[in-house]
Homo-oligomer: A and B are copies of this chain.
């Protein structure tokens, strides 16, 4: 029997479509992995081509070479030289100048790696960079929210092969995030606790959807996963905002992210995926009701008209089964 399930944190319903259910191994990617060179002379992110990117904002150096570089996106979605200006046309159409920041984090000098195949130290450098950028943006009074994300593979919307992630910082708090905060506040009102903290303790008690756990993190396939192998990395320590963590905590996060992505890489044959660091807007950084976490979404299925019309995702895998399949011992 199919069932509706609700994610208590996002309040989104999904349909677990058992009638069309597929087993975890049915999601194995059968495309051959592209064999890329370690260095591509035409790639703007490869060493030696530093002048092909906009001027560098930050770098981490190791053995007198760069390990991670941050540059503005050449085709920025938001730009720092826009005026902060709201406008209402015909008393109906609301627009705001596209002020903000759009960074590319070039994750390694080596063209053909991905997080799953990088060293722990390298991924640590990436997450330390995320944190540094995030903290800097928090001191900008015109910026209210920052989203860090990674698009891995064509189905996940990437256009450049060289390993990179992105950060977009915006003055506007998206409606979507406001809804999430409202739902979390309501849960806090009703229960006096953070919905994410409760999710961690209940998922760990039940142990049906746990992929990995250690002293700092619980990794689960959410009860109401929106698509097969959706994975959440939840830090145990309550904290609304990613920018509040320490450098050491960033490194510990990096290790778990690498471990989980390596498992996905090995078990599903390098699936395309997005990950995103969900975090509170800056002004809510110390709230009791919200909790930062990382969502990994392999792109194994295509959301279609029903998702567009209803916001309800139909998933064809049971999170209890994908968790078992993915389990890291």
Interface residue ranges, A against B (CB under 8 Å): 1-6, 8, 11-13, 15-20, 75-79, 82, 90, 92-98, 145, 147-151, 154-158, 166, 168, 170, 172, 174-177, 179, 198-199, 202, 205-206, 223, 274-278, 295, 297, 301-306, 308-312, 314
CB distance B76 to A2 under 8 Å?
Answer: yes
Residues of B contacting A77 with CB < 8 Å? 2, 15, 17, 19-20, 306, 314
Q: Is the CB of A90 within 8 A of B157?
A: no
Complex alpha-carbon distance, A79 and B20, angstroms: 12
- Minimum CB–CB distance for A94 against chain B, Å: 4
Nearest opposing residue in chain B for A305, CB measure? B149
Q: Name the B residues within 8 Å of A150 (CB-CB).
A: 305
Query: Closest CB of chain B to A269's CB: distance in Å?
Result: 20
A309 to B275, CA, bound (A): 9
CB distance from A229 to the nearest CB of B (A): 14
Instruction: Write out the residue numbers on chain B whose beta carbons fall within 8 Å of the beta carbon of A16.
Output: 98
Residue of B nearest to A83 (CB): B1
CB of A5 within 8 A of CB of B304, answer no
Chain B residues with Cβ below 8 Å from A76 are: 2, 17, 19
Tell me the complex Cα distance, A154–B301, Å: 11
The one of B17, B168, B199 that contacts A310, using a Cβ cutoff of 8 Å: B168
Residues of B within 8 A of A303 (CB): 157
Q: What chain B residues lie within 8 Å of A170 (beta carbons)?
A: 4, 310, 312
Residues B5 and A274 in contact, CB atoms below 8 Å apart: no
16 extra interchain contacts, Cβ-Cβ under 8 A, other than A149-B309, A156-B304?
A1-B97, A4-B96, A4-B98, A8-B94, A12-B175, A77-B306, A90-B202, A147-B309, A149-B306, A166-B305, A174-B311, A176-B312, A274-B304, A276-B306, A277-B309, A297-B308
